A and B are shown apart, each in its own frame.
Chain A
Amino acid sequence: MKESKLLAKDKDIVTPGETIAEGMDFFPGIGTYRYEDRILANQTGLLHVEGKVLKTTPLAGRYLPAKNDVVIGRVSDILMSGWRIDINSPYSSVLPLKDATFDFIKKGADLTEYFSLEDYVVCKITQVTSQNLIDVSMKGPGLRKLRGGQFILVNAAKVPRIIGRQGSMVSMVKKGTGCQIAVGQNGIVWISGEPTSEIIAVEAVRKIEREAHVSGLTDNMKKFLEERTGTKLDLEQIKREAEAESAAAEQPRFQSRPPREESFQEDK
């Protein structure tokens, strides 16, 4: 039998159809498959060599709704018994009356008193059917209407990196710019602060999005923010605060599905 051979390195970018390994000693994971005696990539992604298992983290792709994801959505229509929420995915979602508020809503009430068109909300996905009919809820810690600020779209595949480990990356941008920031799992990012600070925060988020695959990003971002804002950042302190914040459950837990978040980290 032919000797097995790895043709790409850990953290390499691999592309569809690319041969990652030859021989039968390796096993395909997420983002890879076996063809004859080779392992090929079936999506553009960052390669992870975990022993004999070869898998990838996607570097692009539309948001595919999943239960328990916290997303940012926009009210796009008012229905008989709820609201339609656009969540930047191929599928819109419905916020049913019963999940909109802890208040009692009387029959025939004017629903725009609660949420009107073009309102933005942080909501949580409660149900996804096989055909991707989606329900969201506003009942939960941190789920709320967003007022003011601007919204930018980022690639949903980069969200774990923007959030960072236990929220450390986004905390650093918040700290550096003084802006309030919320990151939806669906790639909508809300940024609110002084106009000039918002510009830096937007640039920072865009930079993380584009350089998500780069090693040493945390340090690069620290440098970038310090240069742009002129204030020093204490990474250790930010990390501690982010951990404390994510442990205290009254804040929205913008956490990604664990395997994806971990897989982006170069500095474990």
Chain B
Amino acid sequence: MTYTSKEHIISSLKKGVRLDGRKPYEFRPVSIVTGTISTAEGSAVVRCGDTEVIAGVKMAIGKPYPDRPNSGTLSVNAELLPISNPAFESGPPSTVSIELARVIDRGVRESKTIDESALCVTPGEAVWMVNVDLCPLNTDGNLIDVGALAAIAALKNTRFPKYEGGQVDYKTKTDKQLPVGIIPIPVTIVKVGDVILVDPTADEFEVADARLTVTTEEDGTICSLQKGGEAPLSLDEVGQMIDLATAQAKELRAILVKAL
């Protein structure tokens, strides 16, 4: 529950000031730490302002889909844990958490971040199934961007567990890393009134009329899009948002590369 009205956020934005003092295109400081969780095959904690997400990777051996006998699987899941926010409740995943997971999942999948054929153990019989779980500990907006950074950092941090005689030995990690190729970076741009912002706080996210998450690869190729919010966007606005997202993604990519 927020106590600050949309009108006030907008009236302040019209004067070029966000309630936390940032400029419209300013990201909060981002920090990335990897390998914090010993029980996961890979892990990362990403902080951005008062948003903090833990990502953990678990791997298991499973049977491939019949139509893709040589491919392992990768999936991203997210849960809005009630520990992080008084508004979140225990129970089945909300549409917000499903969207969060799916947007990140699509970015990772479409950019072919992981070569799924490299996850094959025995064609048609056994493949690695990689699960990335995102758990926000603190939430103050922009969960998609922060969650994605955490997911990518955790994948980069992952080491295969030992697999022998049909058994996974989770206690023994090998040196083998996941084949992480292209790194997709989503950046969410919101429109509040007629002002455009990056890295929205929870309040800004809540009052936003429209938002667009643009996931780009290193060369600027767009690999996933998600428009949210009730207001429509003009093609010009979409173009402007893509430019902003691409520029911001460069900075985030630099922070990510430095942390790995």
A and B touch in the complex (CB under 8 A): yes
* A148 engages B11 (CB within 8 Å): yes
Q: Which residues of B contact A64 (CB under 8 A)?
A: none
Min CB gap B90→A, angstroms: 19
Question: A198 on the interface (CB 8 Å rule)?
Answer: yes
Mask, A73-101, CB within 8 Å of B = 1, is: 01000000000000010000000000000
In this complex, how many residues of chain B approach chain A with their Cβ under 8 Å: the count is 13
* A195 engages B12 (CB within 8 Å): yes
Q: Which residues of A contact B21 (CB under 8 A)?
A: 196, 199
Which of A150, A194, A196, A199 touches B4 (beta carbons < 8 Å)? A150
Known: A118-B5, A148-B8, A150-B4. A195 touches B15 (CB 8 A): yes
Question: A149 on the interface (CB 8 Å rule)?
Answer: yes
**A102–B15 CA distance with the chains assembled, in angstroms:** 38
Min CB gap A227→B, angstroms: 15
**A131–B4 CA distance with the chains assembled, in angstroms:** 30
**A199–B12 CA distance with the chains assembled, in angstroms:** 10
Question: A46 on the interface (CB 8 Å rule)?
Answer: no
* A151 engages B11 (CB within 8 Å): no
- Indicate the size class of the contact surface on chain A: 10 to 19
**Residues of A188-202 whose CB lies within 8 A of B:** 188, 194-196, 198-199, 202
Min CB gap B211→A, angstroms: 22
Q: Which residues of A contact B12 (CB under 8 A)?
A: 150, 195, 198
Question: B118 on the interface (CB 8 Å rule)?
Answer: no
- Using a Cβ cutoff of 8 Å, how many contacts connect chains A and B? 33
* B17 engages A196 (CB within 8 Å): yes
Min CB gap A36→B, angstroms: 37
Question: A153 on the interface (CB 8 Å rule)?
Answer: yes
Q: Which residues of A contact B16 (CB under 8 A)?
A: 195
**A249–B21 CA distance with the chains assembled, in angstroms:** 36
**Residues of B1-58 whose CB lies within 8 A of A:** 3-5, 7-8, 11-12, 15-17, 19-21
Which of B3, B8, B19 touches A153 (beta carbons < 8 Å)? B3
* B8 engages A74 (CB within 8 Å): no
Q: Which residues of A contact B8 (CB under 8 A)?
A: 148-150
**A238–B129 CA distance with the chains assembled, in angstroms:** 67
Known: A195-B12, A198-B12. A151 touches B17 (CB 8 A): no
Closest chain A residue, CB of each to CB of B3: A151
**A120–B15 CA distance with the chains assembled, in angstroms:** 23
Query: Of residues A74, A150, A188, A194, which shows the largest number of chain B Cβ atoms within 10 Å of its Cβ?
Result: A150
Known: A148-B8, A150-B8. A74 touches B15 (CB 8 A): no
Q: Could you write out 12 A-B pairs with CB less than 8 Å apart? A: A118-B5, A120-B3, A151-B3, A152-B3, A152-B4, A188-B3, A194-B15, A195-B12, A195-B16, A198-B19, A199-B19, A202-B19
The chain B residues found within 8 Å of chain A, CB to CB, are 3-5, 7-8, 11-12, 15-17, 19-21
